[in-house]
Amino acid sequence: MKLGEIARKLNCTLQGPADLEISGVSGIEEASETELTFVSNPQYLPKLKTTRAAAVILSKGDKAPIPALISDNPYLTFAQAVELFYSPPTPIPGIHPTASLALSACVGENASIGANVAIGAGVRLGKNALLYPNVTIYPHAQIGDDFIAHSNSVVREYCQIGNRVILQNGAVIGSDGFGFAPRSDGSFYKIVQSGIVVIEDDVEIGANTCIDRASIGETRIAAGTKLDNLVQIGHGCRIGRHTIIAAQTGVAGSTQVGNQVVLAGQVGIAGHLKIGDRVIVTAQSGVGHSIEDGKKVSGSPEMDSTVWKKNYLLMQQFPELVRTLKQVKKDLDELKQKLESA
Amino acid sequence: MKLGEIARKLNCTLQGPADLEISGVSGIEEASETELTFVSNPQYLPKLKTTRAAAVILSKGDKAPIPALISDNPYLTFAQAVELFYSPPTPIPGIHPTASLALSACVGENASIGANVAIGAGVRLGKNALLYPNVTIYPHAQIGDDFIAHSNSVVREYCQIGNRVILQNGAVIGSDGFGFAPRSDGSFYKIVQSGIVVIEDDVEIGANTCIDRASIGETRIAAGTKLDNLVQIGHGCRIGRHTIIAAQTGVAGSTQVGNQVVLAGQVGIAGHLKIGDRVIVTAQSGVGHSIEDGKKVSGSPEMDSTVWKKNYLLMQQFPELVRTLKQVKKDLDELKQKLESA
Amino acid sequence: MKLGEIARKLNCTLQGPADLEISGVSGIEEASETELTFVSNPQYLPKLKTTRAAAVILSKGDKAPIPALISDNPYLTFAQAVELFYSPPTPIPGIHPTASLALSACVGENASIGANVAIGAGVRLGKNALLYPNVTIYPHAQIGDDFIAHSNSVVREYCQIGNRVILQNGAVIGSDGFGFAPRSDGSFYKIVQSGIVVIEDDVEIGANTCIDRASIGETRIAAGTKLDNLVQIGHGCRIGRHTIIAAQTGVAGSTQVGNQVVLAGQVGIAGHLKIGDRVIVTAQSGVGHSIEDGKKVSGSPEMDSTVWKKNYLLMQQFPELVRTLKQVKKDLDELKQKLESA
């Protein structure tokens, strides 16, 4: 594809020859002589001197030693450029003969329902649904348009899913929450998880991630939020809008997470807390208290990230500190003895 | 449903009007004017002054400003009350035409076997089995009565499962243990995992949780134990009775966990250890040593929870401590110099 | 089986009666009077005095108070001995009638394709493929010989898999990487994950483990590497040869892990790092920096394991240290006062 055509398709200003042939898109270090790359973080600008790339997507104002496409949002433009050069396999239209649909299930137009998909009674699926083989939709789930469910993902009974939601492989929406009432003999009585999961528009759920249904009421993932793989969301949680939850993070039951929050990988958050908007929790942190809007926390138990960093650096001095204290004690004792014997 | 009828069904003493109409059950803060709520922890009793709930489930002796159901175990009564107001979808009786059963498989009476379920040779399934679509039971698994297996759960070859066991979606019972013998060239030789998993009565296994089969012998989950989602149990472990394991916890191979233990979320336990009865391990702890009965531990590596808490509070003083030490050293040096020059 | 026959089959030197009847293989503490056990770690040699085992697999030079098989690699010999006494269920040859194969899919000779398996267009499967029920192979995946895929495992579009690869239940090869470009309104634009996963020969992937496809290019797991259950490998990672990754570990995107590395359980590794060959990361560590060949690290954030251990021991003295400092400060203040008033 010609660089000029790419510029036109992606609404970029072209700096350089329109007829430069581009074969694909790649990272700045991996790009070959016919590939397009991008710089969205100015700290990588120096790499433009050594890249082999044929052209680069840049912000307005950045100087390009090679042909460039100027964009307001180079990373977004890069994302769109990837699509120009990639063709995913075409979904097979229609319902595969091995799929099992309940008579009362209702599937919208233009669906692609793969082999061995099972859809229960009373299910409503919007238009353009793309269900890969071995997906299961339990009875009475209500699902919007443009739903993509990868193989082995599951939507449980009564759950509600908005438009343009994507479930990666093995994602579980609406498994039973972990709720048991102890009996006097030490055994546990299962609390029926009568609530549901609500997933709003434009949410993506990672592979083998589990979102538990509420005991009563609902567990909710608000619009635009993205969950990575192997994440656990406990029953009765509410995760806000445009929030990012990285892999292997767990949020215990009844916790509310705000909008535009970032939970990095392997974070744990205790139950019944309130995590404010725009909070950032760094990787492997353990959050045991509610957190105000806009804070950044680290550590387990968590503390302000700046404090945590300072403490961490002080910790490095710990062996030195022990030595100093021993010396001070020794000096003092000697001094006292000297004074007494004087 | 009338409050009097609920009292009768749940064996509670009624305090208030028997004909009060109740529409459902809810938490004390969320309950509407027609809902029943509960207080099992006395610290929430003050909330009874502000709740909108129509009535409350309480312990004998607690004072109720609103109509009440008096119970020996309010949380258990709440759990039972939820059931009065919730109807899960009715399982479809019989074997779905797309299910594949080996000729030598034996399924008990009153089964509901969903679409695309696969049951291998020599499998024995007790009565009232409820298998959702896309469940796989490998050859020669032996399973008791009242088994519930949610979609995409798997029971591997030869494993043994008791009565009233529940597998949430994607649970894996009997995957190969992680065992490899290093060869002199640095490569690994797979050790055939010839053992099984035994799951006793009344166990529930969470979504996408994995329980590895033993290399030799068995991995065992004893009666009444409940595992949350995304838990890992290594080969050859023995988990005791009425134990609770929260989400994303991992127990490495050959470790024995006692009865009535609580492992909170994201805990890790090393292999070949013995964790006593009634031990509590707090969230994100890493246990590297065996633990005696009744202990509560925290941290990674773990220590007594009281010590851990004290250390954690001392840590907060760490920057102050460094400043104090520097000042003391300075003072001492000045004092010495003064004395010398005197 | 006679001990002499076992010696012959496993190429061991026999010390003791060739006609001793052996009923199975077991651990040194569990072995019964008719079982064969092994000692590969010399620290367990004293247990030979109390074991009930009939015979033992030992290294040359170790002294055996009971009949013995002498081997260059007792642990490997043990692994092979297990196979002599275990018969896994025989795979059913052929393609199950409920399996769905695209017309353009190509399956090699001697395959066993289970119930409800779905194989997409353009897939190539080598010989001796063993696919358990409910496996899904997306279009255009290329897979070598002797492939074993357990129920609910998935291989996504275009991914490439070598020979003798094993996928445990629910393993996901090629789920979308976690990549989103932020838009000015705070919402996220999904970056098409156009790359693939390449899995080389002799790799085993644990149950419910997820390996994300690359955004561009590939995610690669090199030959002979073994991943345990519930592991997360981010997009664009490269994991080297003969590397061991224990359960619940996560490696963030674009990180390179070397050859013969050991990542213990619940480790987290940040993105864009380079972990050298033969590195060992102990359990629950959090790695935030690249690591040189041969290092052993612990802690979160990670440090040299020896330093970490020393720090950990010093930490135990922390309360004592605080007391000492307070005493020193008090002594010093008294001394100063005494001198001033003198």
pLDDT tens, residue by residue, C25-77: 999 989 999 999 999 988 899 999 999 999 999 999 888 899 999 999 999 99
- Other CB atoms within 10 Å distance of the CB of residue C170: 32
C-alpha span between C262 and C243 (Å, rounded): 6
Query: ipTM value of the model?
Result: 0.95
Close Cβ partners of A253 (under 8 Å, ≥ 6 residues apart): A177, A178, A179, A212, A234, A235, A236, A237, A271, A272
Close Cβ partners of A82 (under 8 Å, ≥ 6 residues apart): A25, C191, C192, C194, C215, C216
**Inter-chain contact C116–B138, Cβ cutoff 8 Å?**
no
Q: Is B37 helix (H, G, I), strand (E, B) or coil?
A: strand
- Other CB atoms within 10 Å distance of the CB of residue A243: 25
C-alpha span between B210 and B234 (Å, rounded): 8
C-alpha span between B278 and B273 (Å, rounded): 15
**Inter-chain contact A188–B89, Cβ cutoff 8 Å?**
no
The mean predicted confidence, pLDDT, of chain C is 95
Whether the pLDDT of residue C342 is over 80: the answer is no
Write down the CATH superfamily of domain B3-84.
MurE/MurF, N-terminal domain (3.40.1390.10)
- Of chain C, the percentage scoring pLDDT greater than 90 comes to 86
Catalytic residue among A96, A235, A242, A289: A235
How large is the angle between the packed helices A305-316 and A318-341, nearest 10 degrees? 60
The pTM of the full predicted model, rounded to 2 decimals, is 0.96
How large is the angle between the packed helices C318-341 and B318-341, nearest 10 degrees? 30
C-alpha span between C76 and C307 (Å, rounded): 34
**Inter-chain contact A318–C314, Cβ cutoff 8 Å?**
yes
* Cβ atoms of A210 and A228 closer than 8 Å: no
Which residue in chain B has the smallest CA separation from A186? B242
Question: A206 to chain B nearest CA, in Å?
Answer: 13
Which residue in chain C has the smallest CA separation from B115? C116
CA-closest candidate to residue B25, choices B92, B67, B79: B79
C-alpha span between C42 and C54 (Å, rounded): 19
- Of chain C, the percentage scoring pLDDT greater than 70 comes to 100
Write down the CATH superfamily of domain A153-301.
Hexapeptide repeat proteins (2.160.10.10)
CA-closest candidate to residue A299, choices A272, A266, A277, A275: A266
* Cβ atoms of A57 and A69 closer than 8 Å: yes
Close Cβ partners of C73 (under 8 Å, ≥ 6 residues apart): B181, B183, B184, C40
User: What does the pLDDT average to over B195-221?
Assistant: 97
Close Cβ partners of C87 (under 8 Å, ≥ 6 residues apart): none
Whether the pLDDT of residue B22 is over 90: the answer is yes
**Inter-chain contact C321–A319, Cβ cutoff 8 Å?**
no
To test the contact with chain C by mutation, choose from A169, A202, A249 the residue with the greatest count of C C-beta atoms within 10 A, namely: A169
Is the CB of residue A216 less than 8 Å away from at least one CB of chain B? Answer: yes
Strand pairing category for A268-269 and A280-281? unpaired
C-alpha span between B189 and B185 (Å, rounded): 11
Query: Which among C172, C216, C331 has CB closest to A82?
Result: C216
C-alpha span between C275 and C254 (Å, rounded): 11
Is the CB of residue B88 less than 8 Å away from at least one CB of chain A? Answer: yes
Which residue in chain C has the smallest CA separation from B173? C169
- Chain-centroid distance of CA B183 in Å reads 38
**Inter-chain contact A232–B244, Cβ cutoff 8 Å?**
no
Token pair for residue C283? 């359990």
**Inter-chain contact A325–B322, Cβ cutoff 8 Å?**
no
**Inter-chain contact C314–A312, Cβ cutoff 8 Å?**
no
Q: Tokens 């679409």 label which residue?
A: B115
Q: What is the pLDDT of residue B332?
A: 85
Query: Which among C118, C178, C317 has CB closest to A133?
Result: C118
Cα angle C278, C283, C284 (rounded to 5 degrees) comes to 125
What's chain C's Rg over C-alpha atoms? 27
Q: Which residues of A touch B78 (CB under 8 A)?
A: 181, 191
Q: Is C221 helix (H, G, I), strand (E, B) or coil?
A: strand
C-alpha span between A221 and A14 (Å, rounded): 40
Token pair for residue C101? 């194969």
**Inter-chain contact B133–A118, Cβ cutoff 8 Å?**
yes
Is the CB of residue A325 less than 8 Å away from at least one CB of chain C? Answer: yes
pLDDT digits (tens, 9 = 90+) for B301-334: 999 999 999 888 887 788 888 888 888 888 888 8
In chain C, residues 91-150 whose CB comes closer than 8 Å to chain A: 98, 100, 116, 118, 120-121, 134, 136, 138-140
Q: What is the pLDDT of residue A318?
A: 81
Which residue in chain C has the smallest CA separation from A116? C116
* Cβ atoms of B141 and B120 closer than 8 Å: yes
Tell me the CA end-to-end span of chain C in Å, nearest whole number.
Answer: 94
Q: Which residues of A touch C191 (CB under 8 A)?
A: 78-79, 82
Close Cβ partners of A134 (under 8 Å, ≥ 6 residues apart): A114, A115, A116, A117, A151, A152, B116, B134, B152, C116, C118, C134, C136, C152
Question: A178 to chain B nearest CA, in Å?
Answer: 6
Is the CB of residue A27 less than 8 Å away from at least one CB of chain B? Answer: no
Is the CB of residue C196 less than 8 Å away from at least one CB of chain B? Answer: no
C-alpha span between B48 and A84 (Å, rounded): 61
Close Cβ partners of C176 (under 8 Å, ≥ 6 residues apart): A166, A168, A204, C193, C212, C213
Domain positions in chain B are 3-84, 153-301, 307-342
Is the CB of residue A81 less than 8 Å away from at least one CB of chain C? Answer: no
Catalytic residue among B96, B140, B150, B235: B235
Close Cβ partners of C55 (under 8 Å, ≥ 6 residues apart): C3, C16, C20, C22, C36, C37, C66, C67, C68, C69
Q: What is the pLDDT of residue A317?
A: 81
Token pair for residue B263? 């492992």
Question: B265 to chain C nearest CA, in Å?
Answer: 12
Question: B299 to chain C nearest CA, in Å?
Answer: 11
- What are the pLDDT tens digits along chain A (342 aa)? 999 999 999 999 999 999 999 999 999 989 999 999 999 988 899 999 999 999 999 999 888 899 999 999 999 999 999 999 999 999 999 999 999 999 999 999 999 999 999 999 999 999 999 999 999 999 999 999 999 999 999 999 999 999 999 999 999 999 999 999 999 999 999 999 999 999 999 999 999 999 999 999 999 999 999 999 999 999 999 999 999 999 999 999 999 999 999 999 999 999 999 999 999 999 999 999 999 999 999 999 999 999 999 888 887 788 888 888 888 888 888 888 888 887
